[in-house]
Amino acid sequence: MTTAIYPGSFDPITNGHLDIIIRASKLFDKLVIGVYDRPDKPLLFTTEERANLVRKSVTDLPNVEVRIFSGLTVNFAREMKAQTIVRGLRMSADFEREFDLAMMNKKLSPDVEIICFMSDLQYQFLSSSLLKEAARLGGEITNMVPKHVAEALRKKVGNQCKN
C-alpha cells in the first residue's frame, strides 16, 4: 500500500489545498493530511479547529485521513509509514522554499520521496495569509474556500474585530 502525507498549517484550508489533496488522493492508496501543531507563524485557528476544518473538507475522500503532528515532517512520515511527502507549488517563490525543505528532508530521511504538485492556475495567488487578510477587510472569500471554512473564518475575524 502506498501512503503519502501532505503536511501544512492549513490556517485555514483553502480550495488550493483541496485541489492538491484531491489530485494526490488519486495517486496514493492512502493520503494523510498532517496538520502541523506548532508552525513558526501567527495562527488564527487553534490546532483542533484547523484539523476539524480539514476533516470536514475531505469527508467525501475515503482514502484521506487527518492527523495532527509536531516535530520533523520526516518523523511524521515514518510514523504514518509514508513513502512520500506531498507539497504544493504556487509560484517561483514557493519553489525556492520547497526546494530547500525537500533537500533537508532528503538528507534527514533519504528513503522518503518528495512530490510537488503545481497549483492549478485559478489558485496560483491563493494563500491562507492573503485569505485571512481579505476576510478581515470584508472581502468576498466564498469561492476560495469550502463553505464551512468561509463561515468559520467570518466568525473568527468578526470576533477579532470586536475584541
Query: What does DSSP say about strands 84-89 and 64-69: parallel, antiparallel, or unpaired?
Result: unpaired
Which one is catalytic: 41, 92, 107, 162? 41
| List 9, 17, 25, 87, catalytic entry | 17
pLDDT of residue 97: 81
Question: Which grid coordinates are listed for 98?
Answer: 520547497
How much is the pLDDT for 42? Answer: 87
Q: Which residues of the chain have pLDDT under 50?
A: 161-163
Catalytic-residue membership of 162: no
Q: What is the CATH number of domain 3-124?
A: 3.40.50.620
Going by the DSSP 8-state scheme, the letter that residue 27 receives in this structure is T
pLDDT at residue number 162? 44
pLDDT of residue 90: 85
Q: So what's the pLDDT on residue 163?
A: 39
Q: Please indicate whether residue 9 is annotated as part of the active site.
A: no
Q: Domain coordinates of the chain in residue numbers?
A: 3-124
- Here the cell at position 8 is 501544512
41 annotated active-site: yes
> What is the C-alpha separation between 77 and 128, in angstroms, rounded?
24
| Cα separation, 154 vs 145, whole angstroms | 12
Residue of 89, 93, 105 whose CA lies nearest to 16: 89
Catalytic residue among 25, 57, 119, 128: 128
Q: Which of 23, 30, 90, 156 is catalytic?
A: 90
Amino acid 33: pLDDT: 98
Look at residue 159 in the predicted model and tell me its pLDDT.
55
pLDDT, position 92:
66
| 17 included as an active-site residue | yes
* 38-71 per-residue burial string, b: 16 or more CB within 10 A, e: under 16: ebeeebbbebebbbbbbeebbeebeebebeebee
